Amino acid sequence: MSVTDVGKKATVACPFCATLNRVDLGRLADRPRCGECKRPILLDRPIAVGDATFERVIADTEVPVVVDCYADWCGPCKVVAPILDEFAHDRAGEVLVTKLDTDRNPATAQRFDIRAIPTVLVFWKGRPAGRQTGVLSRAQLDALVDAAVRS
């Protein structure tokens, strides 16, 4: 899969106004903007999801979705954050990287039995396809996503 795969879509919440937007991942170079507030939607970095948007983002996105379950106070989560930032940048258009603050979104955290953070979940075709708890390297993250897509 490459960034030029026109037609692959993702549903994401605007980081400014929280409006859900449908984005063509093959056209990221055109710099998508929110349909409501017209501000940029940057998918070369992790994007926030919450209890209200999680299900729709997972169900409506046509590429693997990586969910970083974290909390602001968590030291190991801060170690994983730059790895996820780099991953999101390098694989923009191929994978959607999201962040779920487990303190602010307890319903989703409970639904997926998040008992330790950081926990990285991978969804493929709307279903859970991979999971890793604890700090992971970039190579481990790539392998987790690639294995989820092959399964």
Which pair of structure tokens corresponds to residue 36? 């409501």
Active-site residue (options: 14, 34, 69, 77)? 77
Which pair of structure tokens corresponds to residue 77? 């989560």
Determine whether 17 is an active site residue. no
Location of structure tokens 């603050």: 101
Determine whether 34 is an active site residue. no
Which residue, among 103, 77, 84, has the nearest Cα to 46 in the 3D structure? 84
| Segment (H or E) for 56 | helix 54-60
Give the bridge partners for 13, in sequence order: 20
- Just list the catalytic residues: 74, 77
